[in-house]
Structure 1
Amino acid sequence: MSSVSPNADTNPDADTKVHLTEEKETLLATLYGRAVDSRAKKPILGDAMAAETVQRLDYDFGKLRMGPGDAAGVALRARQLDVWTARFLAAHEEATVIHLGCGLDTRVHRLDPGPGVRWYDIDYPEVIDLRRRLYPEREGYTTIPSSVTDPAWTDRLPSDRPAIIVAEGLLMYLTEEDGTALLRRLMAHVPGGELAFDAFSRFAIRTQWLNRVVVNAGATLHWGMDAAGVAALSPELEIVENISALEIPGMEKLPTGYRVAARLTAHIPGVRDMARMYRCRF
């Protein structure tokens, strides 16, 4: 995977200005990670739409210092959630996708769900406004401009079909109280389904000063959880898959140095469990 020069994605002719702060700005790092991956000789996710979007944004992506291994990690996490979402939709042709804190993710376009799927992307109004300027509309797709923790928007969702709730790079920014209330409210709204997300451990929250993306954005992490904390969200919740971020399928595609480092640190329990991915059934 090739490296990216510091100013590779600073486009003086970009047509869309970006004004995001704190945790909202972190969505640009994940967008950029997918863009860098898409330009690799052997991309993991191959999100060409992300690369096109980066070129349209008036933002200095070079300051993110996104290395090839960092980008590959972003792409692996996104691909795993894509796999879980696609699997759910294959089993439920008429389903709802509730994508929390969608940022500038292009998942709905990558997966291209069938006509029976109702897909909802939820994020802050300024983020949704940016999405609407950048991405095309499509049948069965709705954006909801709101903080995910505001209960009011839940009423806009169908309540008569199975749903998959997807949250990528979101829950750790919520308080435990707000996050728990959000997920319980959504699970109670639909007849059943799945919950797919990534989470940080309490140790990762305590050492967030080591997280370059969080520090650069001036954001703050709040909610750390382990498998027991996930299970406590609901007595009807069953953890089906629980994967360390250092052991996501496809890690062999990382650049050699990153791959070796991941293998070594995966043997340290506290480090191995700092970031995990969960697929749950309810």
Structure 2
Amino acid sequence: MNEGKVDFRAVPDDGVTWTLLGTLYLRAWDNRLPHPILGDRYAAEAIERIDYDFAKLKRRVRPGGSQFLVGLRARQLDDWGAAFLARHPDATVLQLGCGLDSRMMRLDPEGALRWFDLDMPQVIDLRRQIYPERGRYRMIGASVTEDGWLEEIPADRPVLVVAEGLLPYLTAADVRRLLGRLTDRFPSGELIFDGLAPWVVRMNKLFQWSPRDGRDVERWNPRLTCAEQVPVTTHRRLIPVRRYRVLYRLLHAVPALRNISVDYRFTF
């Protein structure tokens, strides 16, 4: 990780703040617990290096419960990613909408994998000040909806595509086109991402797309097969605070609430 303080005070106080700094802050908060869900020490180190009004951000993201949702989501995707890489140690990894996530350090701390992280150019400019490109790790500044960047990713081996906290912000047409481009480009691999319940998307103007279940995606793209879909409440036993374990157990008992956030794993 690069050294020295990084000035993030100019980051706009809008939806970008949540996706860029909010999730990083909540993963760092989780790491402070005696028994963290994710244990992302890299997020904690990054927060210490960023110059930003985190007191204001804390009031907005309200840690104390929301970090468990973020931690459970990331933990499931990490577990799926680690299992895929154990089966395919020579795979390529492509993470879309990477933000300030440290997944490449959590799953590949030695930089041995051919790993590409992609996000908007302005996000990548900030990211480069926090995380170094080392080993075979590379960053790409581009929108996922643009053409061209995918040609930079070699397609000669299985690929793990990770899209955490991204697809709900895209339109259905953009998601469908993106998934088609991925399966056309790569001969085989897995796609892992999170989705929200349709009613959540309807209530929040920031979100645009949600699958009702994995069959929605299979109907769009016959090359994609839904191997698993797991509500984040499934792993509530990992929550280290009893009152939140009870809350998540109650949420899990109600289908509409159980599917507030679901992790998906597709093979192709």
TM-score higher than 0.5:
yes
Q: 1:108 and 1:171, CA in 2 relative to 1: closer, same or farther beyond 3 A?
A: same
- Alignment size in residue pairs: 259
Which of 70, 76, 88 is matched with 1:74 structurally? 70
Match of 1:243 in 2: 230
By how many angstroms is 1:141 displaced? 0.8
Distance (whole Å) between structure 2 residues aligned to residue 24 and residue 180 of structure 1: 23
CA–CA separation in structure 2 for the residues paired with 1:50 and 1:114: 17
Counterpart Cα distance in 2 of 1:14 and 1:116: 27
Structure 2 SS opposite 1:133: coil
SS in 1 for 2:192: strand
- Aligned residue for 1:273? 259
Structure-1 residue corresponding to 2:242: 256
- Is the contact made by 2:31 and 2:38 (CA closer than 8 Å) also made in structure 1? yes
- Matched residues in 2 for 1:105 and 1:156: separation? 21
CA shift in 2, pair 1:65/1:177, >3 Å: closer
Aligned mates of 2:162, 2:98 — CA distance in 1: 9
Three-state SS of the structure 2 residue aligned to 1:232 is helix
Shift of 1:113: 6.2
Partner of 2:39: 46
What code does the residue aligned with 1:89 have?
Answer: L
Structure 2 equivalent of residue 165 of structure 1: 161
Which structure 2 segments of 5+ residues have no match?
Answer: none
Amino-acid identity (%)? 43
Provide closer, same or farther for how the CA distance between residues 224 and 169 of structure 1 changes in structure 2, counting only shifts above 3 A.
same
* Deviation of the 1:243 alpha carbon: 0.5
User: 1:10 maps to what in 2?
Assistant: none
Structure 2 counterpart SS, 1:151: coil
TM-superposed deviation, 1:63? 2.9
Deviation at 1:57, TM superposition (A): 1.6
1:198 match: secondary structure: strand
In 1, Cα distance between equivalents of 2:197 and 2:130:
34
Question: 1:222 offset after TM fit, Å?
Answer: 0.5
Q: Is the 8 A contact 2:167 2:195 kept in 1?
A: yes
Aligned to 1:25: 17
* CA shift in 2, pair 1:233/1:24, >3 Å: farther
What TM-score comes out, normalization by structure 1 length?
0.86
Structure 1 residues 185 and 65: alpha-carbon distance in aligned structure 2, compared to 1, 3 A threshold: closer
Please give the per-residue CA displacement for 1:173-196, whole angstroms capped at 9, x wherever unaligned.
001111111111011101111010
Q: SS in structure 2 opposite 1:239?
A: strand
TM-score by length of 2: 0.90
